[in-house]
Structure 1
Amino acid sequence: MLIYFQKSISSIYDGFLGHELSLVHSLQTKFEQLEPLFEFVSEELHPDVIATYVVPLLGLYSMDAMVKYLYGMGVIMLSTSVLKWIVHEDRPYWWCREKDLPSISQHRLTCETTSGIPSGHSAAIVALSYLILAYLSSGYRNLIYFPLGILCLIMFMSRIYFGCHFLHQCIIGGMIAYGGIKYILEPQMWQFLLETGKKFHIIILIATGLFTLWSYVIMMYTNIDPHWSVRMAFKWCRDPMYLSHTSSPVYSMLKDFGYMMGVALSAPLIKSASTEVNPYMSVPITLFILIANTFLKVYTPTQSGRFAFVSYAFFRSLFFTFSLLTIMPKLAMKGSLLSTKKAQ
């Protein structure tokens, strides 16, 4: 009886994914002329690009905005990374080959090495859109609703077009981002997060880290390969050169943990959020931090062993957010020595 039930559920699930795979085929057939646009959106609005370039630049408006954007994006990125580690679901270009179905077209952006659910790109663009809308007055908000909605739709279409995600994976990613940012920005919750000290945030991060380690132990105990998604990517990607070491599940998680640890070490965040900075100092310092982070990322030690590789990602991300939320405000604060000299 149990075996029959499992087969029935598996059959329904495969039928569901089969319908979604037809959407991938349909987009690849009907929207081939939009491939350059899809490629641009997927690359230039990659979650890492949003978190390390777009968000800090938007945050130059004020330190309050900087704190909200970095905190919100950090939470969503870490949540999606952890879920990708725990929830195992195929990407379309793996699934169709495993099921001996007609293959979909592959692109260099198709080859991802993490689980398909949730879509990190979809979560990042929805989170960014919500954060922007939350900070605008109602007049400006009404003007930008439609363009941001179109941008989110194009991102969803691009991820499906390249065979990176099924439709439901994009929707789930968007829902996680929407619900997460909405909850964080609730007035009482946001005030609590601003006033809470380092200890609380660090304990939450340690607990999350222990949870991922526990899930690893469970996977090993139950003979589930924790690195299954990497093996699937190498198995079915037509060109292994398309695969990037910086998209692996462990690297992504450690990078996102570092991003949030930098935020945690800057707590209580109300100090940073309430700091008035001199734009003549905050802008060049922020640009310097962005350039330094880019330089450090380029020189990631890929040949020094796995531990050095992921540790470097963790501390680079930690330094990035800590610099933006603690070091930059102190140097650019109105009335500071550097700010006064610049004004003179």
Structure 2
Amino acid sequence: MDLFHSWGVELVVHLQTQYGQYENCFSLASTVADLHATFFCFFPVWFHLRRDVGVQLIWVATIGDWLNLVLKWVLFGERPYWWVHETRFYNIGPAQAPALKQFPITCETGPGSPSGHAMGAAGVWYVMVTTLLSVAAERSPPLLYRFLQVALWSLLGLVVLLVCMSRVFMAAHFPHQVISGVIIGIIVAEIFSRVRWIYSASLKKYLYTTLFLLSFAVGFYVLLNALGVDLLWTLERAQKWCVRAEWVHLDSTPFASLLRNMGTLFGLGLGLHSPLYTERKRSTSATFRDGCMVGSLLLLQCLDGLTFSSKNQILFYLLSFSKSATAIFITTALLPGALHWAFLGRIKKNA
């Protein structure tokens, strides 16, 4: 495995040496691939354009990331930026440990396999591309549809390639980790394209699903801990080998990711079954829809500026859960409900 990892490190060195001028592009690709962009940017747009697509995006993103967490605890993947210092591979023979550059988004604290960014980007973009193609199939002539097929699948391939290259360039992942992430992400998205009950799930089902996923992850962690498996070994290595301590963020730990995703899923269930959402469904005008879309994006950017201290980890995790749930609730129910009453009040006043 060390030899396999060494080949991955060679690719990291090659990318950093030959494509160093594209650092900002790679950094942007990693940022867009983060599920934060799905929850705070893609979801508000898709939910108000096509509700079912928005719902599917949340399920694919949250379940996919939960699966990614469990797989990381099982596979114990290394990360290049610490592996080059921990391995004995370069102490044998004339080979010297390569000097890998680090960046503000390099020092992820969880295990590396499979890549969560690659997995999330593949799953989310697969949903968006297949949705656009299904719409095009209904409204476009055959020749135009074939052109759109080539263009959109090429776009998906380009986005996934850029994300994979960015994660390797940043020395956050080995090549095999991003490839496996892409494959698993597309499988998750394809499975949820065939699941219909998520569009009519009750609030009780959302609550039970959230509790089950959370309980399973925590129980699995406790079980592995009882068996003597140290699941915090990656945090120690990140703190040890990251060149700048401020680049090691608590919000990149497995439990922070778990609580954010569970908050997102619960917030979706809460929003879809809120009386405010029921009122929102009565307003179907394009102006109302566009107002909800733009307003949601603006409010979520304001909410995104809300950060929490990591000194108290339990409080940090709880606030992360609440922030994620609030973001989805704002998009699905709170803002649409408020705009509905504002439009209704203006109509009554004019009457």
TM norm. shorter chain > 0.5: yes
Q: Tell me the amino acid that sits aligned with residue 220 of structure 2.
A: S
Does residue 161 (structure 1) correspond to residue 169 (structure 2)? The answer is yes
CA contact (8 A) 1:71 1:263 kept: no
Which whole-Å CA distance do the structure 2 matches of 1:60 and 1:141 have between them? 24
Q: Tell me the amino acid that sits aligned with residue 229 of structure 1.
A: T
How far residue 15 of structure 1 moved from its aligned partner, in angstroms, is 2.4
Which whole-Å CA distance do the structure 2 matches of 1:194 and 1:87 have between them? 33
User: What is the aligned partner in structure 2 of residue 76 from structure 1?
Assistant: 64
User: What is the aligned partner in structure 2 of residue 204 from structure 1?
Assistant: 209
CA 1:83–1:151 in structure 2 vs 1: closer, same or farther (change >3 Å)?
same
CA 1:131–1:303 in structure 2 vs 1: closer, same or farther (change >3 Å)?
closer
User: What is the aligned partner in structure 1 of residue 180 from structure 2?
Assistant: 172
Structure 1 vs Structure 2: percent identity of aligned residues?
A: 23
CA contact (8 A) 1:77 1:256 kept: yes
Q: Tell me the amino acid that sits aligned with residue 200 of structure 2.
A: E
User: What is the aligned partner in structure 2 of residue 150 from structure 1?
Assistant: 158
The secondary structure found in structure 1 opposite 2:65 is: helix
Which whole-Å CA distance do the structure 2 matches of 1:33 and 1:82 have between them? 36
Does residue 237 (structure 1) correspond to residue 245 (structure 2)? The answer is no
Q: Tell me the amino acid that sits aligned with residue 327 of structure 1.
A: L
Which whole-Å CA distance do the structure 2 matches of 1:342 and 1:38 have between them? 47
Deviation per residue, 1:256-275 (Å, 9 max, x gap):
11011112334579x88987
Which whole-Å CA distance do the structure 2 matches of 1:194 and 1:125 have between them? 22
* Corresponding residue pairs, total: 325
How far residue 340 of structure 1 moved from its aligned partner, in angstroms, is 4.2
CA contact (8 A) 2:55 2:198 kept: no
Q: Tell me the amino acid that sits aligned with residue 34 of structure 2.
A: H
Q: Tell me the amino acid that sits aligned with residue 232 of structure 1.
A: R
Which whole-Å CA distance do the structure 2 matches of 1:59 and 1:135 have between them? 13
CA 1:211–1:30 in structure 2 vs 1: closer, same or farther (change >3 Å)?
same
Q: Tell me the amino acid that sits aligned with residue 327 of structure 2.
A: F
Q: Tell me the amino acid that sits aligned with residue 116 of structure 1.
A: G
| Pairing partner for 2:227 from 222, 225, 229 | 222
CA 1:274–1:68 in structure 2 vs 1: closer, same or farther (change >3 Å)?
farther
User: What is the aligned partner in structure 2 of residue 246 from structure 1?
Assistant: 251
Q: Tell me the amino acid that sits aligned with residue 31 of structure 1.
A: Y
Deviation per residue, 1:59-97 (Å, 9 max, x gap):
332323332333332332333244334542111111121
User: What is the aligned partner in structure 2 of residue 321 from structure 1?
Assistant: 328
Q: Tell me the amino acid that sits aligned with residue 114 of structure 1.
A: G
Which whole-Å CA distance do the structure 2 matches of 1:24 and 1:337 have between them? 54
Does residue 263 (structure 1) correspond to residue 259 (structure 2)? The answer is no
Q: Tell me the amino acid that sits aligned with residue 14 of structure 2.
A: S
Deviation per residue, 1:38-66 (Å, 9 max, x gap):
12212244321232113322433232333
User: What is the aligned partner in structure 1 of residue 142 from structure 2?
Assistant: none
User: What is the aligned partner in structure 1 of residue 38 from structure 2?
Assistant: 50
CA contact (8 A) 2:119 2:184 kept: yes
| Pairing partner for 1:124 from 112, 117, 120 | 120
CA contact (8 A) 1:47 1:121 kept: yes
Deviation per residue, 1:182-220 (Å, 9 max, x gap):
11111xx22x22223222232222122111121221232
The secondary structure found in structure 1 opposite 2:208 is: helix
Does residue 32 (structure 1) correspond to residue 36 (structure 2)? The answer is no
Which whole-Å CA distance do the structure 2 matches of 1:181 and 1:268 have between them? 24
Which whole-Å CA distance do the structure 2 matches of 1:119 and 1:320 have between them? 25
CA 1:204–1:338 in structure 2 vs 1: closer, same or farther (change >3 Å)?
same
Which whole-Å CA distance do the structure 1 matches of 2:76 and 2:119 have between them? 17
User: Where in structure 2 are the equivalents of 1:294-313 lying within 5 Å?
Assistant: 294-302=301-309, 305-313=312-320
Q: Tell me the amino acid that sits aligned with residue 306 of structure 1.
A: Q
Which whole-Å CA distance do the structure 1 matches of 2:12 and 2:115 have between them? 15
User: What is the aligned partner in structure 1 of residue 198 from structure 2?
Assistant: 193
| Pairing partner for 1:112 from 108, 115, 128 | 108
Q: Tell me the amino acid that sits aligned with residue 160 of structure 2.
A: C
CA 1:316–1:278 in structure 2 vs 1: closer, same or farther (change >3 Å)?
farther
Could you tell me which runs of 5 or more consecutive residues in structure 2 were left unpaired when the two chains were aligned. Answer: 91-96, 138-144
Q: What TM-score do the two structures reach when normalised by structure 2?
A: 0.82
Which whole-Å CA distance do the structure 2 matches of 1:239 and 1:55 have between them? 33
Q: Tell me the amino acid that sits aligned with residue 68 of structure 2.
A: T
How far residue 246 of structure 1 moved from its aligned partner, in angstroms, is 1.9
Which whole-Å CA distance do the structure 2 matches of 1:174 and 1:342 have between them? 49
The secondary structure found in structure 2 opposite 1:315 is: helix
Which whole-Å CA distance do the structure 2 matches of 1:342 and 1:161 have between them? 54
Does residue 14 (structure 1) correspond to residue 19 (structure 2)? The answer is no
